[in-house]
A and B are shown apart, each in its own frame.
Chain A
Amino acid sequence: DIVMTQSPDSLAVSLGERATINCKSSQSILNSSNKKNSLAWYQQKPGQPPKLLIYWAFTRESGVPDRFSGSGSGTDFTLTISSLQAEDVAVYYCQQYYRTPITFGQGTRLEIK
């Protein structure tokens, strides 16, 4: 199975500042057929299901604010929130969909400093 490891486990950032969450896969998740990395990012707020933010490592889902961006390739990926807003407080998960079993990172809890 592909293991997804996020860092840090929790993060406190001041409003308006940049937040960066890292995700590392135990093997490459580069899809050879389309040359894209099979990596998604989700946001989950308390009592709600996860919400897809980013797929193919950097493609923003429709309706997601442009302060959210994804980057990385191969085995190392990053989710960046350029200017933290109060509504961004949540747990963030990365996920690989390169092969089954699909696997998630353990989650990163983002709070306001």
Chain B
Amino acid sequence: EVQLVETGGGLIQPGGSLRLSCIASGFSVSTNYMTWVRQAPGQGLEWLSVIFSGGSTYYADSVKGRFTISRDDSKNRVSLQMNSLRGEDTAVYYCARDSGAGIKDWGQGTLVTVSS
């Protein structure tokens, strides 16, 4: 059974940093497209970043230069390093497996609140 479990969310002050982790089971992150999507309170879905099986990474303009996606194949884990956090980064962050034809598997999400 495919499972994705995100950890690392919490309350952080503006300008701070946070690292989200996503542990995958039931498949290998190394051979899949792994992505992060967020959803601000009461708002829609925003795609943030993807790491392809070959290791290439892409980012939304809203987080480019501040967020970094990475992968640890030995731990079957994907991470999102978030720096220079702003109030508008407050959201539920989802880790997901992108099939290349839609996002088929999603974690339950972890809430990040950026506030002083």
- Seen from chain A, the residues whose Cβ lies within 8 Å of a Cβ on chain B are 1, 38, 40, 42, 44, 49-52, 54-56, 59, 61, 93, 95, 97, 100-107
Contact of A100 among B44, B50, B94, B101 (CB under 8 A): B50
- Seen from chain B, the residues whose Cβ lies within 8 Å of a Cβ on chain A are 35, 44-47, 50, 58-61, 94, 96, 98-104, 106-109
Instruction: Say whether A55 contacts B58, CB under 8 Å.
Output: no
Give A42 to B37 CA distance when docked, in angstroms.
13
Q: Give the chain A neighbours of B106 by CB distance below 8 A.
A: 49-51
Give A97 Cβ to nearest chain B Cβ, in Å. Answer: 7
Instruction: Say whether A102 contacts B101, CB under 8 Å.
Output: no
Give B75 Cβ to nearest chain A Cβ, in Å. Answer: 22
Q: Give the chain B neighbours of A40 by CB distance below 8 A.
A: 101-103
Instruction: Say whether A103 contacts B44, CB under 8 Å.
Output: no
